[in-house]
């Protein structure tokens, strides 16, 4: 029996089935790990197309990676238009492909004033020495508009919510500002995941993921992805330099630069993606409880969580997201030492970088994930603590924080 048309089916059905239709030969319900670098050809150029597409070499294509890419494309939607996803060895490898596809020396980009430290480092320490200039702007559309250099700015980069300050950007408004000036909009959707937010449907041109985080979801694999409108989509955009469809150019660079995910990594990431919806529901529900608890705590001066009605981006987040996610940051009244002490005192929250896994993590961004932006405009407050709220029982997580905050204020 043929598979039904999945495009009209719901998020979880697509995440579980697209790319994973049973293996035509064996009936295996999960795509195998195709641990192969090359593929036998039936005569020169005679690629075997038993799986629908032909394969010649695993940098260019591998069936396990294809399964993941098809599933990612099906969940990172563009308001009904077809999308194309590409899987990379890490989130930063995916970002690098965007930068080197869309820019040439002399071009300019607009970056957020608050973002993942590694993203800023890639632009400031790798791309800029090669001649790509940048300005930073807050999440305010007017500030983005002012930072654009007409004729030179190739794209505006947005991360929403941001890492680690959970600032929210109005994607639709910034897309309008970027497009008005002839620039594209790239959105890092790592914190929200495709379950909570679909930037392409809100007008963005490229979506970036660190699939290491929520998409993988189990802290056992590093990966990245790009999703764009497919070349045949009515809203497909063109590469600003070659005027070819951007999806084709990015796919070409994925192969030409070679930072692809291997089949074992693709397998783990696809396994994670299948449960993304249920995980994000629980991450969001528990994070809301943790944020409410922290808001009442005397040792805490500020809680940064878009789900709180007091959060400056709450209204925009409520409009463009389907939930508020599992990341919560907060600041300690007693400053840096108390923040470091709190991070060192939890016993269920593990002190570690990264996020989005089933286990809860705590960290001090100033000294850990965002150490590379110290002394730049992206420097974060030193009394800041970031939580990745996992899937443990909310009561246990809150009790753990309660003990740690008592230890930190003693």
Ligand X SMILES: *Cc1c(COP(=O)(O)O)cnc(C)c1O
Two structure tokens written together for 130:
């090669």
Minimum CB separation of residue 191 from ligand X in Å reads 6
Among 112, 161, 203, 224, binds ligand X (CB under 6 A): 224
Cis peptide bond N-terminal to 164, omega within 30: yes
Q: What span, in angstroms and rounded, lies between the C-alpha atoms of 170 and 181? A: 17
Can you say how many angstroms the Cα of residue 110 is from the centroid of all Cα atoms in its chain?
Answer: 18
Can you say how many angstroms the Cα of residue 293 is from the centroid of all Cα atoms in its chain?
Answer: 27
Segment 114 to 133, residues that bind ligand X, using CB under 6 A: 116, 118-119
Minimum CB separation of residue 396 from ligand X in Å reads 25
Cα torsion at 101, 191, 358, 274 (round to 10°)? -60
Among 15, 92, 145, 342, binds ligand X (CB under 6 A): 92
Binding residues for ligand X, total number by CB under 6 A: 16
Q: Which is nearer to ligand X, 233 or 304 (CB)?
A: 304
Minimum CB separation of residue 322 from ligand X in Å reads 19
127 burial level (CB within 10 Å; 0-12, 13-18, 19+): buried
- Does 386 contact ligand X by CB under 6 A? no
Q: Which is nearer to ligand X, 34 or 88 (CB)?
A: 88
Length of the chain in terms of residues written: 410
Q: At what angle do helices 246-257 and 91-102 cross, to 10 degrees?
A: 120
- Does 265 contact ligand X by CB under 6 A? no
- Does 267 contact ligand X by CB under 6 A? no
Helix (H) or strand (E) holding 108: strand 108-112
Question: Binding marks (x or -) toward ligand X, 326..355, rule CB under 6 A?
Answer: ------------------------------
Q: Which is nearer to ligand X, 193 or 345 (CB)?
A: 193
In a 13 Å sphere around the CA of 182, the CA atoms on its Cβ side amount to 9
Cis peptide bond N-terminal to 161, omega within 30: yes
Minimum CB separation of residue 238 from ligand X in Å reads 26
Q: Which is nearer to ligand X, 107 or 188 (CB)?
A: 188
Q: Which is nearer to ligand X, 92 or 397 (CB)?
A: 92
Active-site residues: which are they?
59, 116, 188, 213
Q: Which is nearer to ligand X, 209 or 229 (CB)?
A: 209
Among 70, 83, 90, 136, binds ligand X (CB under 6 A): 90
94 burial level (CB within 10 Å; 0-12, 13-18, 19+): buried
Task: Give Dmax (Cα) for the chain.
Answer: 75
Segment 43 to 72, residues that bind ligand X, using CB under 6 A: none
Minimum CB separation of residue 131 from ligand X in Å reads 23
DSSP symbols for 268-285: HHHHHHTTHHHHHHHHHH
In a 13 Å sphere around the CA of 17, the CA atoms on its Cβ side amount to 13
Segment 181 to 220, residues that bind ligand X, using CB under 6 A: 188, 190-191, 210, 212-213
Question: Binding marks (x or -) toward ligand X, 151..170, rule CB under 6 A?
Answer: --------x---x-------
Residues that bind ligand X (CB under 6 A): 90-92, 116, 118-119, 159, 163, 188, 190-191, 210, 212-213, 222, 224
């Amino acid at each position: 029996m043929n598979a039904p048309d999945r495009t009209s089916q719901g998020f979880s059905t697509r995440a579980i089935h697209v790319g994973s239709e049973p293996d035509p030969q064996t009936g295996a319900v999960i795509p195998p790990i195709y641990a192969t670098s090359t593929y036998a050809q039936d005569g020169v150029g005679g690629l075997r197309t038993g799986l629908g597409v032909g394969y010649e070499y695993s940098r260019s294509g591998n069936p396990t990676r294809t399964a993941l890419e098809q599933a990612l494309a099906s969940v990172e939607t563009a308001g009904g238009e077809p999308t194309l996803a590409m899987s990379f060895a890490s989130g930063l490898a995916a970002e690098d492909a965007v930068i080197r596809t869309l820019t040439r020396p002399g071009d300019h980009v607009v970056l957020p004033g608050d973002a993942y430290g590694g993203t800023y480092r890639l632009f400031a320490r790798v791309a800029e020495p090669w001649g790509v200039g940048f300005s930073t702007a807050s999440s305010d559309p007017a500030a983005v508009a002012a930072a654009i250099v007409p004729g030179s700015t190739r794209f505006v980069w947005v991360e929403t919510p941001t890492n680690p300050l959970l600032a929210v950007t109005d994607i639709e408004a910034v897309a309008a500002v970027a497009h008005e000036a002839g620039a594209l909009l790239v959105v890092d959707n790592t914190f929200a995941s495709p379950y909570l937010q679909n930037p392409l449907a809100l007008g963005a041109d490229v979506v970036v993921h660190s699939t290491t985080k929520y998409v993988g979801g189990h802290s056992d694999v590093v990966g990245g992805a790009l999703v764009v409108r497919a070349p045949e989509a009515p809203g497909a955009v063109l590469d600003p330099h070659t005027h070819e469809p951007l999806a084709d150019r990015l796919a070409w660079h994925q192969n030409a630069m070679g930072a692809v995910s291997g089949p074992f990594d693709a397998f783990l990431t696809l396994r994670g993606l299948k449960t993304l919806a249920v995980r994000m529901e629980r991450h969001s529900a528990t994070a809301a409880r943790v944020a409410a608890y922290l808001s009442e705590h005397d040792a805490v001066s500020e809680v940064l969580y878009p789900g709180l009605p007091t959060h400056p981006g709450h209204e925009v987040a409520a409009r463009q997201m389907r939930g508020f996610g599992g990341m919560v940051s907060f600041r300690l009244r007693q400053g840096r030492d108390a923040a470091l002490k709190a991070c060192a005192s939890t016993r269920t929250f593990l002190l570690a970088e990264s996020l989005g896994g089933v286990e809860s993590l705590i960290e001090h961004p100033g000294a850990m994930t965002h150490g590379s932006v110290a002394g730049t405009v992206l420097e974060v407050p030193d009394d800041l603590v970031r939580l990745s709220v996992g899937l443990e029982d909310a009561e246990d997580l809150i009790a753990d924080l309660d003990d740690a905050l008592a230890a930190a204020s003693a």
